[in-house]
Each structure stands twice: as structure tokens, then as C-alpha cells.
Structure 1
């Protein structure tokens, strides 16, 4: 692949993230692409929940095996939520393995002999693949190392979503961690990095069963302050936790408790990462709103998880998630 040169970009919108153009301009650019990618028009699902924080959805008729056809977006304004949903739809479409993508099969040593690579054992691998790692054929594609300034070979299962092996060793199950779209390459890379940092900090908190300090929002006129009021006014308690890891990039978790309904399925969590902690909190809060709304709308429902949640009940689910 061609080298990537990062340039300075103007900052035009920053309520829920650093963007190079306002959400209205993003929508002008991306909406014409939705039909090309097989998407239905954007749908406003905000009224599926009583909170009123904007949430939009995009439906894709034909999806790859093992993936969902609903893509959702949230924001402090309708335009932000629409842009968020549309960009997630394009992100997932772009992450699929397309006909023009080039895949090469080879052992680690064969690929190592042909240039720089991401060593598979530098990734977090399950124990089941380790005993055959050096001898197995692995699928590879090319990427670009921004730090070293060079093209590198990367295991295909770490790039594409979804990825199913075809005679090669699948190192781990495909996932969406770090996939991001943007108005520019710089914007996309930044938000992909934020997501990886966010998931890492969240995983550390869960693994060690601890968070940093609780967070109190004193400024009721700030975006997080206004969002918190919307939750409170509708009988939903929100707890904000500092999840920032040793990387030092502000990461905030928000957990919701619908004390009016005591519905175990509405004990939701949202996490946000950003260089600006106010934006990190905003992202966490709007993600909680998105989780509530999409659940009530019946999107991305895991039937087994719903069954287990109902069987456990409100009090047991709260006890299990006492960290939050």
C-alpha cells in the first residue's frame, strides 16, 4: 500500500469528538454513499426511549455472515447522531474483505523473509493457536507503520471485519476494535486510536475490578451537565467513573440505573476516550443513551443474553456489576 503522510487538519466540530468539518458537512458527503453500500435511509429512533438524547440508525439489507445489519449513532444534537450512524455504516462496509483486497498466505518465517511485519505473538493470542503458530499458513495483508514510516505485513484477521479463514490459521475471532471512518485519513486514524485506548482502559478496569475516582460534573451548563439532567429528569441514575489507564488519555465510563422501572436490561454502560475529558464524558453518556434506545427498539439483540439477564433479575445484575 502507499505510504501515509499525516497533515495538520482544522478542527471544526468538537462536542463529541474532534472533526475537521461540522456534522452537517459530513452528512452531505456521506449520505450519497449509503445507497451505494446497500444501506437504507437514516432513521430517527430517539423517541424509542424516554430520555430524548438523539440516536439514529441505519439498516443494511445484505450483510456479511456473522455481522449485524444495524448501525447506530449518538450525539448531543440530531446532526451529530445522524453523522455518527452514517459513518459507522461506512466504517463497517469498508472493513469487509472486498474483491480488490489482496491476501497472501504464508508462514511467519516466509513473510518475515519478505519484509517488515507485525509479529503475531505481539498480539494477544489465545493459547490454542500457539503450539502451531510458526508452522501454520497465515493470511496476510499490507498495512503502514506510522512510527517507522514503512509498509508492513499484518495478519488479515486483525484487519478485516468479518474474516473467515480459507485454509489458513485464524489467530483470533474477528472484532471491530479500532475500526474507524473519518472525513480525512487523519480523522479516521485518531478515532481508531481513541477506540483502542478506550477498550484497553475498560478491559484493565474489569480485569482488576477497580476504577479510579468517581467523577462529579459541577457545570450544569456544560454538554455533560445537560445530558445528566436529561437522565435524572426521567428517573435514570448515572454514575461516572474515571477509567484512565497508565497511558494518561482521559477515559470515562458511564453506567445507568433506571430506578423507576428496575429493568435489568437497562443497566447499561458507555465508555468514552478523548484528549478532552469533557468530550470523553459526553461520548460515554451518549453511548449509554444509544444502548438504552437500541435495546428498546430491538436492535442488536442477543437473545441468549436477554434470557440470562431476565433470569438473573435486577438486583443480581447490579451485584455482579458492583464495580460500576
Structure 2
């Protein structure tokens, strides 16, 4: 069949494109596929017809599909040196096309040639004048009209290419990736603190990552504002694409998913949305991610038991198949018992406390792992992105501290003191008073717990419907923690009921613990901590965790195709906001801090599960 294809383009020495009538055959080293268009491409280029004219008679859908096909061919196009086989141009004597240019040229007048001498070489352009260009075109038209057609009618479009390390397929032999402890970084914290402690401003980070947002070649396809009037801060939504590999079917399933971003400034909201896309993308299992296969019994001394990770009580497990809804749960009819002697898939993370390697279930460290999710599945808790590894680790750790404090407050229904709104910058207070406060009553609760790092709940109640909304924030500076809680509140108000989380804000019952406690101090002494660099800040948090007997682990996702560092921070034994009724901290922390006279039990905890 190949002999019937009259026109050809050679791409990057590894791919060839052959055209015959309405068919285009693309041959690569490892695969080949055939494209059928609704126009005769061979006839089109011979007749020197523009693409718009050629497709003008097609229905709209076919016009779009045809243009997309032609555009894809153009994006992959590369010009090759013409030789005697190409027509009237004779072979170049002691000359060649410069290799580093041949991979990037877009137009024929960009082709360079190298003349080699005994003691030197000279680089000059092949096309030096308009007359030479016309001569070259006439040769191309006779011998390679497809290339000339693209040259004449296509526009130069520059796209960032993401060079992924995930080039294998899941049927190939596994590749064990090297895992190392994240190196310390001594970068100064930027004074703005927009979005927390960062080594770059939101503007600088956006300049770094925004060029990678692209609907054709980008991991993140687009970022757009979530329209909502009368809110002091904007929310942005970013769309990204993931491919889910399986062993049974090597064809990837493709999904587009959105992530939301918040911030005091529009730039920070955009950065937040894009960064969350990268967090979620980086966590997707790739076929060369590391794992071992062994039984828990054999590696018990260097692994974390699944029961500590999922935190489910025996009561929760027994009702798993009936009325217990758990995000990412197994599709099994009942929650299975973990067998210590059976072999399972494990992947490694590094302890930042002991510097030792620890193994956790692969299905917990990676999203959509093909190795099953029978005992514990991945969730985004502790996933973070940053300009540096330490910056990402700090953000992930603060998220764990925040959600641990939220769970202890929510499920124990603890009542805490209010923090005066005027603790915030006056400009922010003014924005609240002129926008949010016209429809919502707002107050801030100090739910800081035994970490002594400020954790804030921003609670609001609609003046008309009486429905509740809330947002949370954690940071070493009280004001930043309050800002984070406020911007998250605005984010949740802006999306309303347009989300797929199982939690329904409209079903929140009115409880005393949602309101400030006026007569008694039930909170830790709140600190306002300031540091000069990320490493110093992270070291403080790690020492605090260690003093509480909590280990902090980090999984470095190490995705070279992402312009930010991405990690997952894990703290075995700390609570998620989801119901994890087997975890001791849920009951011991309130009692230890004298917030309650007696420890709670599972039956007395808040029945409304916080799935947000």
C-alpha cells in the first residue's frame, strides 16, 4: 500500500508522512496510523489551493476536524535538506544542515548550512535572496508540494513541549526510580507572603508557569475566572488532562479535570489554580514509578501499616458496603481484611525526621495506580507544588496541620474563641464590609491545636437563607492564616453547588460549635511566628511534629515535565477532614489540652462527614 503514496514528508529522521488522495499515513519507529480527511490532500497541494477554500463546502464539524488534522501535521513538520533525489538542487560538497537547527526550524529560509574546511567551518543560510527562495520553491512544488503548501498557508505557532519521563507502557518491566532525601534550601522568603511563605512573588511564579498553559501541548490546558459577583476575591479554574494506564488494556483513558485557585490577588488565584493542577497531575501513577512487591510481614520494620493510613474503625469497615461513603473507596462489596503474609505493591517515601526510607502502599502514594486500591487509596491531602522542593513540602505540611485541627474541631464539636476581623489588613476589612458582608454574616474562629501553629476557620451564614459556608487556613503568621481562610470561603461561595464533592453545605445543621465561645478560653495560646527563609520555617515545623511523636514523610513525584516541584507530604496518625474514626488524635488531643472533661467516643462524634 505504501507504494501508492506519492507525496511524503520526513520528520525528525524517525517519522514519515505519506499522502494519497484523502488518506495520510504516519509511520513512526514504534507505531503507525492512518488518517482520513474530508478533502483530497494530494490534489489540494497540487492545485495550490488555500485550506479555507478547500474546506468551505464541508459541514462545520468536518471543517473543524479537517483543520485540526492539518494543524497537527504542521506542528510536527520539519524541513529536510534537498539533495539530488529532490530535484534540481545538486548535492552539497562538504556541507551539511546544522543538526541543532533542523529540529527547530519552521520556514525554509531558516535552514543553515555548514561549510567544512581543514581548519575552520562557516555557517551560512541556504536561501540568501528572494530569487534563490523562488528557485527553491519551484523545485519544492515539483517534488514535494505538501511541504510547500504548509509553507505558504500555515502560520508559525510556538508551543512549550512537556518532556515527560513516562515513555514506557504498563506492560513493560518496571523501572526503579532513585529516591533521595530533598536537599535543604536557604532561599529567603518574599516579603509579600501572598499565598504563604514563598521564595518568589505570585507575579514571578505566574510568569514561569503561564507559558506552559496550552490547549495543544500543555498539561494544563487553560485557566479562567469563575464568575461570581459581590465577592472581595476572585476564584480561578484551571483545566488539566490526565491519561490513566491499565495493564489489561494498554490504551490510556483520557479525562479532563478542573482545579480551583484562590488568593488575595488575581495573579495568586491563577497561580493557585494552575499549581493545584500540577499537584494532581504529578500524583498520577506513571509506568516507571518505583515500587517493590513484598509482604508486610517481611518489610514491617520499614513500612507503614495500611490501617494507620486509612484510619477506618472496625465499625466503619463493617458498614462499608452499606451506608459508608468513602471517596476513592474500593469497588469491593465489603472492606477487605489486610493479610500480612500476602504480597502487595509498596512505594517509598523519605522520613524528614529520621531520614530513613519508608514503604507505603503504592495505591496510597499514587492516584489511579493499576495495582488496586483494596486497603487504602490515594487522596490529595498533603499534595503540594512550589518553586522549590522545600517550599512545596512546607505547603503540604501546613495543609496536614490545618486538616488535623479541622477534624478535631468538627467531629468533637468544640466551641472556640473568635478572632477580631480587624486583625486583618484594613484594605481587606474594607473589601469584606463593602461586598461579602452585604449578604453574609462572617466571623473567624481560632481552632489552633497542639502544633501551636495558627489554624483559622472563617464561618459565614447567609443573611436570607441562613445557610452556612466556611473556609479554613493555616500559616505561621496569624494574619496570613486568616487571609487563607477568607479566600477559601470566597472560593466555596463562588462555586456554590457546582461541585462533585459528596458534602452538601445546605445540609449543615445549626450547632453551637459553629459560633464563637464568649466566656471561656478553650484554645491554645496563639503564636505569630516569623522566619527569614523556607528551610528555617520547615525545620521549626518538623521539630514541633517530632516533639508530638509524629513522623513526617515526603514522596517526591519528580516530574520533569512540570515547571514546579511537586510532592506529597504524609504524617501517619494525623487526621484528615474525612472521617477516620480509628485515629487516636481525634480523641486524645481535646482531652490532653483540657478542652473536654472526658474523651469522646465514635458514637458521640459529629455524624456529618466533612467531605469538602
Q: TM tier, shorter chain?
A: 0.7 to 0.9
Note if 1:49 corresponds to 2:229. yes
Partner of residue 32 from structure 1, selected from 201, 207, 211:
211
**Cα deviations across residues 58-87 of structure 1 (Å, max 9, x unaligned)?**
12255658x981111011111111111111
The 8 Å contact of residues 223 and 282 in structure 1, kept in 2 or not, is answered as no
Structure 2: gaps spanning 5 or more residues = 1-178, 245-252, 318-334, 516-612
Change (3 A) 1:140 1:237: same
The 8 Å contact of residues 222 and 240 in structure 2, kept in 1 or not, is answered as no
Change (3 A) 1:258 1:142: same
Note the C-alpha offset of 1:172. Answer: 2.3
Q: Which residue of 2 aligns with 1:87?
A: 275
Q: Which residue of 2 aligns with 1:118?
A: 304
Note the C-alpha offset of 1:226. Answer: 4.1
Q: Name the TM-score, length of structure 2 as normaliser.
A: 0.46
Higher relative contact order (CA 8 A, sep 6+): 1
**Cα deviations across residues 113-147 of structure 1 (Å, max 9, x unaligned)?**
7xx33344443432346843423433211111111
Change (3 A) 1:275 1:305: closer
- SS of aligned partner of 2:182: coil
The 8 Å contact of residues 469 and 492 in structure 2, kept in 1 or not, is answered as yes
Q: Distance in 1 between matches of 2:355 and 2:423?
A: 43
Change (3 A) 1:136 1:320: farther
- SS of aligned partner of 1:42: strand
**Cα deviations across residues 37-72 of structure 1 (Å, max 9, x unaligned)?**
532221022x3232141111112255658x981111
The 8 Å contact of residues 232 and 431 in structure 2, kept in 1 or not, is answered as no
Change (3 A) 1:263 1:188: same
- SS of aligned partner of 1:41: strand
Note the C-alpha offset of 1:154. Answer: 2.1
**Aligned ranges 1:204-223 → 2 under 5 Å:** 204-219=408-423, 221-222=425-426
Change (3 A) 1:284 1:219: closer
Q: Distance in 2 between matches of 1:223 and 1:188?
A: 29
**Cα deviations across residues 3-29 of structure 1 (Å, max 9, x unaligned)?**
222222211130330111001111122
- SS of aligned partner of 2:386: coil
Structure 1: gaps spanning 5 or more residues = none
The 8 Å contact of residues 242 and 281 in structure 2, kept in 1 or not, is answered as no
- SS of aligned partner of 1:237: strand
**Aligned ranges 1:66-105 → 2 under 5 Å:** 69-105=257-293
Q: Distance in 2 between matches of 1:37 and 1:238?
A: 39
Q: Which residue of 2 aligns with 1:5?
A: 183
Q: Distance in 2 between matches of 1:185 and 1:223?
A: 33
> Larger Rg: 1 or 2?
2
Q: Distance in 2 between matches of 1:96 and 1:106?
A: 22
Partner of residue 366 from structure 2, selected from 146, 155, 160:
160
Q: Which residue of 2 aligns with 1:150?
A: 356
Q: Which residue of 1 aligns with 2:239?
A: 59
Change (3 A) 1:62 1:131: closer
Q: Which residue of 2 aligns with 1:270?
A: 471
Q: Name the TM-score, length of structure 1 as normaliser.
A: 0.84
Q: Distance in 2 between matches of 1:91 and 1:187?
A: 13
Q: Distance in 1 between matches of 2:358 and 2:513?
A: 43
Change (3 A) 1:263 1:52: same
Q: Which residue of 2 aligns with 1:282?
A: 483
Q: Which residue of 2 aligns with 1:323?
A: 514
Q: Distance in 1 between matches of 2:406 and 2:243?
A: 29
Q: Distance in 1 between matches of 2:256 and 2:503?
A: 16
The 8 Å contact of residues 414 and 513 in structure 2, kept in 1 or not, is answered as no
Note the C-alpha offset of 1:259. Answer: 0.9
Note the C-alpha offset of 1:196. Answer: 0.4
Q: Which residue of 1 aligns with 2:380?
A: 176
- SS of aligned partner of 1:48: coil
Q: Distance in 2 between matches of 1:37 and 1:322?
A: 45
Q: Which residue of 2 aligns with 1:141?
A: 347
Q: Distance in 1 between matches of 2:189 and 2:357?
A: 29
Alignment RMSD (CA, Å): 2.8
The 8 Å contact of residues 285 and 367 in structure 2, kept in 1 or not, is answered as yes
The 8 Å contact of residues 224 and 278 in structure 1, kept in 2 or not, is answered as no
The 8 Å contact of residues 291 and 347 in structure 2, kept in 1 or not, is answered as yes
Change (3 A) 1:31 1:100: farther
Note if 1:293 corresponds to 2:494. yes
Change (3 A) 1:231 1:216: farther
Note the C-alpha offset of 1:263. Answer: 6.6
Q: Distance in 1 between matches of 2:416 and 2:511?
A: 19
Change (3 A) 1:231 1:172: farther
Residues matched between the structures, number:
306
Q: Which residue of 1 aligns with 2:68?
A: none
- SS of aligned partner of 1:181: strand
Q: Distance in 1 between matches of 2:199 and 2:304?
A: 30
The 8 Å contact of residues 212 and 244 in structure 1, kept in 2 or not, is answered as no
